[in-house]
Amino acid sequence: MSERRESLSDWDGIADWWIDAVRDDPTQSSDTLGVLEDLVGGTGGRTIDLGCGEGQVMRRLGGEIVGTDLSTELLHHAAQVGPVVRACLPDLSWVRPHSFDRAVACGVIDMLEDHVALFRSVAEAVRPGGHLVAVMNHPAATAPHSEPLADPEGQVLWKWGSYLTSGSWTEWAGAHPIRIFHRSLATLLSDAASSGWSLERLIERGPSADAIARFPDLHGQENIPSLIGLRWSRTN
């Protein structure tokens, strides 16, 4: 996996946009971190924050935590919270094997082209019995061409797009591209299981009342899953 391929997303270019989103957008901050907090109970210890961005997860979890990210701009902020390493996921060859008790990945797995390589490299970095906690866009929402539709009575339905086929699409933050990689829930769970991860808990959420208040277009989508959170333990 080359850095050039992954940098099809320009996170340095959108660092300021992301920092504003973390501060102002409840779908990026409180919804995501709410799911994370529901999942981390019962896990702990030395933690690696994969794709730590500006450090909101490091701030929220505290404790012994190391952040890693590709974006120099965002790492500059995260470094004020704790130690950080600039690296390109899914490569974790710089991590001593089994040296972490827990890995967290918020909003990151669907940014990576090779999720299987990530599951494998995290399984190498985390000790047997340790955990991987991930929160990301729900696969129903990452499918290319998926979108809300209103039926004649005004009820909001979900168009699945090409849900069953792995693929990618580009979201634009102004002039800056963000590549989103889609895989179905079955693909995600099967690939995690075959990479040494045993699923302990799965959470699905629609947009919160705060998110709907901030983005009225989300009205009617309360029961359409937009976020997924997963907690896996590392099998021996």
Ligand X SMILES: C[S@@+](CC[C@H](N)C(=O)[O-])C[C@H]1O[C@@H](n2cnc3c(N)ncnc32)[C@H](O)[C@@H]1O
Stretch that binds ligand X, among 108-116, 141-149, 180-188, 209-217 (CB under 6 A): 108-116
The region of 64-72, 120-128, 196-204, 217-225 touching ligand X under the rule CB under 6 A is 64-72
CB closer to ligand X out of 2 and 223: 2
> What span, in angstroms and rounded, lies between the C-alpha atoms of 197 and 199?
6
Cα–Cα distance measured from residue 231 to residue 131, given in angstroms and rounded to the nearest whole number: 7
* From candidates 34, 82, 107, 225, binder to ligand X by CB under 6 A: 107
**Contacts with ligand X: how many residues (CB under 6 A)?**
21
Strand spans (E) along 26-183? 47-50, 65-69, 84-86, 100-106, 126-137, 147-150, 156-159, 167-173, 176-182
52 near ligand X, rule: CB under 6 A = yes
Q: Contact between 71 and ligand X (CB under 6 A)?
A: yes
Give the shortest CB-142-to-ligand X separation in angstroms: 12
- State the minimum distance, in angstroms, from the CB of residue 28 to ligand X: 7
Part in contact with ligand X (CB under 6 A); list of ranges 45-53, 145-153, 190-198, 225-233: 45-53
- Window 109-138: residues binding ligand X (CB under 6 A): 111-112
Binding status of residue 88 toward ligand X by CB under 6 A: yes
Q: How far is CA 222 from the centre of its chain?
A: 20
Least separation in angstroms between residue 80's CB and ligand X is: 14
Both tokens of 144, joined, read: 């290319």
Closest by CA position to 160, among listed 185, 131, 127, 179: 185
Compute how many other C-beta atoms are within 10 angstroms of the C-beta atom of residue 202: 13
Among the listed ranges 105-113, 163-171, 201-209, 228-236, the one in contact with ligand X (CB under 6 A) is 105-113
Cis amide bond preceding 148, omega within 30: no
Residue 226 within binding range of ligand X, rule CB under 6 A:
no
Q: How far is CA 89 from CA 41, 176, 211, in A?
A: 26, 20, 29
- To which residue do tokens 């599951």 refer? 119
Instruction: For residue 78, state whether it binds ligand X (rule: CB under 6 A).
Output: no
Residues lying near ligand X in the complex (CB under 6 A) are found at: 6, 9, 11, 22, 32, 51-53, 56-57, 69-71, 74, 88-89, 106-108, 111-112
